[in-house]
Chains A and B, each alone.
Chain A
Amino acid sequence: MREEIERITNYRSQSGIEYKEYYDSSDWKGSLSPPGEYPYTRGIHRDMYRGRLWTRRQQSGFGTPKESNRRIKYLLSIGQTGINMDVDVATKTGLDADYPLAQGDVGLQGTSMSTYEDMKELYDGIPIDKVSSTLIIQPPYSVVTMAQYLLMAEERGIPWDRLTGTIMNCAITQYVGPTLQSNMTFFPFDLSIKIGYDLMEYLIEQVPRWNIININAYNMRETGIDAVQEAAFSMSLAADYIKGLLERGYDVDRFAPRIAFFSCAHMDLFEEVAKLRAMRRVWARMLKERFKAKNSKSLTWRTAVQTAALPLTAREPLNNIVRATIETLAAVLGGVQSIHTTGYDEAYSLPTEESHRLSVRTQQIIAYESKVANSADPLGGSYLVESLTDEIEEKIWELMKVIEEKGGFINCYKEGWVEDKINEARYRYAEAIENNDITVVGVNRFEGGDEEATINIFRHEEDMQRKRIEYVKEYKRKRNQEPVKRALENVYRLTRKGADMNMVGPIMEAVRAGATMQEICDAMRRACNFQIPK
């Protein structure tokens, strides 16, 4: 029998760029400015990770605030350096645990957070003046969560200028997809965008070190869109927000340094590195040339990264550890500011404590043992990576131009264009796996391994949902009702009044008075005569 020669059959990158047999000086003749200098291809600081290692920021949130508090403390104890607070989907849709349609999802994909008490319990014993937090929630709900956080700081006597962190605060990208339906069902869409701006404005004025918005490219990427689409969609969306803030009369240099991104690191290592480098360049050029920013801080593109979960498999779950390591390496080589390494068990459930630890350890091994973080932009000057960076940058500009001509990203989203593109991409990605165009080891190649997982899998605490539902009901029964009623009435009245009023103040007063997440959102919904599904 003839020997079968094993080879890779497809040399295209994930976004369809054909890798060449080899690259040399004919592919890239450019020159680079050093890291820390415009257009920041090589990173936003000269010393990069020597000056400060990226933040290890694992998303954590499940069940009750008390359970999540335990997990956060555990993560901090093993070397996590930032908090990534994820609320459950009920909270993310402005519903309390006791709302009928919410009851089956309480605490499953994040922490159930309805009240100010919940916030205090979640952060109990955690020094919020020393450790930064990302709060994963979008407007208008983000205002309630941010208010809870700020009131907590106030109560602890911590001045707001000592707080560091990020609020997601993007009305579009937070929901997976993002499908139109998800963003139109629980709150009037235009009003949610408007309230997002209200919060940005408030944070610009009152909380000087807090990031006012986080453009979530990751959730879009997880549908199956490619690296170029991820970059172009999120950059175009950012451009819309910048325009919005300029229209509100802010100088670009006052807010641009406080816009952050949340990107994805996928399996195609060099393409992902090139994408991250290209995005830094696109941002720098866009801010300088189009928006006339002058402050160098406005020109530096900062991003958090989560490693892609889409390539993770339920089959042979231990393979996912290797995948997540490669993706994490891509993020590090790409020079990002914080990383969440996705757990190997996420094709089954939320990460166990053991899996969470492994994610932190993966990053620590890359940081301290592999030596890849010792020099800034270690792949800089590589013919392959530089040529790929150039090509991707060009494609990003092209796609951004298309979006701009269609009236900007938010408009494209409302018109359904974005969703069409996402649907196309998700079918294409799924088909590519079926056709073996994308190889997934253990799934469409080298199958026949052990199908049964022998790993530990996370289980929610027995009775967690019932307890949470009871807590919320009990809370509403026991509190002093009069101030709540008054504060909600105020939110209702001011929402009705409309356009010019910044809603953050009144919402914060309602939180202070003891109103829950849903009560505050319902007051605004009622003011717009907006119905939500029962």
Chain B
Amino acid sequence: MRRIFSTEEIVTGVKRGDKRFASILMTMVEDGVEEGRVCIKALAPFSQTPHTIGVTGWPGAGKSTIISKIARKYLDMGRKIGIIAIDPTSPISGGSFLGDRERMREIDGNEGVFIRSMATRGHSGGIARATDAFIKIMGAMGKDTIIVETVGVGQDQVSIRHLADTLLMVVMPGMGDYLQALKAGILELGDIFVVNKADRPGAEEMVMDLEMLFSMACREDGWRPRIVKTVATERKGVEELIVVIDEHREFLTKNGLLPLKKMEHIKIEIKEALKGRLLDIIDKRMDLKGRLDAYAKEIGDGKQDMEGVIDDILKGAGFDSPNRKG
């Protein structure tokens, strides 16, 4: 049997930097265990604010390899690293294949680094909250740099934008058409665009395309996204990437953007948390889960429209005079 630890033991363990306790606490968070919340709260005062680097990009672009090279470099510089690798959960089985470890063996097992995989399964409170809690735990362990890897498609793309201080978007030659289609929206995809596999044909064109897109608009925060070419498997361009990451961080600090970013993030967090709680409440009051199929069928058969169903649900859960927009 697995031993059950007291919240005190866990908190002390995490503060000591003990990987075992940190990992136990992370599992408690993933499982939505109440004591997990208590521990996180107790740890808050001890958690320094680490520099959080988000890394997104399409599967196969080389995110994991880039992360392992950056982390290796940071470790040599004496930094303490935490890595959170988020992988999609199969929507069919709920299972997942978390294979990034295979590509991070260069840093795996190093005392200064803690790697944790996370599947995007139905976390109580959502993936963003779990990630946020993981960052706090790693901060309390004494990690000063945290790298979060996501596939960067769909929902978690939005949350990583707010969780990360610095966001890297990893692209590779051949993705030009896709990026073109985004037009100026591309500016928000990352603070730094890493053109990986830059030894392949089409890398120069890719850089030119990006520069052209960047020149079309300005970002609200005034940062102009940077482009770094890398061949991660050969460690090429990694030094430069690190310099640019530092420049971005400096930019945030100098302009006082870090606290603003943090506030922005907390606001979103509040809303996310509220959504989660509301759903729980509604479920408890009128068994939403049990009735979801029936509602879906009604809409599907054309007997009800979406707004009508939402009204129904809210009413059923005891919220009076549901106020519809428009």
Q: Which residues of A does B touch, CB under 8 Å?
A: 181, 416, 531, 533
Contacts and interface: CB of A to CB of B under 8 A. Distances in A.
Nearest to A531: B106
Contacts of A416: 60
A416 B105 CA distance: 19
B293 interface: no
A416 B59 CA distance: 13
Contacts of B60: 416
Chain A binding site: helix, strand, loop or mixed by DSSP? loop
B102 interface: yes
B279 to A, nearest CB: 36
Nearest to B106: A531
Nearest to B233: A184
A189 to B, nearest CB: 10
Nearest to A534: B109
Interface of B: 60, 102, 105-106
Closest 4 CB pairs of A and B: A181-B102, A533-B105, A416-B60, A531-B106
Chain B binding site: helix, strand, loop or mixed by DSSP? loop
Contacts of A181: 102
Nearest to B102: A181
A149 to B, nearest CB: 34
Nearest to A188: B234
B105 to A, nearest CB: 7
Nearest to A533: B105
A486 B182 CA distance: 60
B238 to A, nearest CB: 14
Contacts of A531: 106
B314 to A, nearest CB: 46
4 contacts: A181-B102, A416-B60, A531-B106, A533-B105
A181 B60 CA distance: 15
Nearest to A529: B235
A37 B105 CA distance: 54
A531 B68 CA distance: 14
B239 to A, nearest CB: 15
A392 to B, nearest CB: 32
Contacts of B106: 531
A533 B106 CA distance: 8
A533 B107 CA distance: 11
A48 B102 CA distance: 49
A531 B69 CA distance: 14
A255 B34 CA distance: 72
Nearest to A189: B233
B48 to A, nearest CB: 32
A215 B106 CA distance: 32
A416 B103 CA distance: 14
A416 B102 CA distance: 15
Contacts of B102: 181
B235 to A, nearest CB: 9
Contacts of A533: 105
Nearest to B108: A533
A301 to B, nearest CB: 35
Nearest to A179: B102
A416 B172 CA distance: 15
A418 to B, nearest CB: 15
Nearest to B60: A416
B326 to A, nearest CB: 48
B100 to A, nearest CB: 13
A171 B95 CA distance: 35
Nearest to B109: A534
A531 B106 CA distance: 9
A149 B105 CA distance: 36
A480 B217 CA distance: 71
A533 B105 CA distance: 8
A533 B104 CA distance: 12
Contacts of B105: 533
Nearest to B105: A533
A134 to B, nearest CB: 32
A531 B105 CA distance: 11
B77 to A, nearest CB: 19
A481 B141 CA distance: 49
A414 to B, nearest CB: 10
A297 B302 CA distance: 74
A416 B106 CA distance: 20
A438 B102 CA distance: 32
B62 to A, nearest CB: 11
Nearest to A416: B60
A438 to B, nearest CB: 24
A531 B102 CA distance: 15
Nearest to A415: B60
A353 to B, nearest CB: 39
A531 B235 CA distance: 13
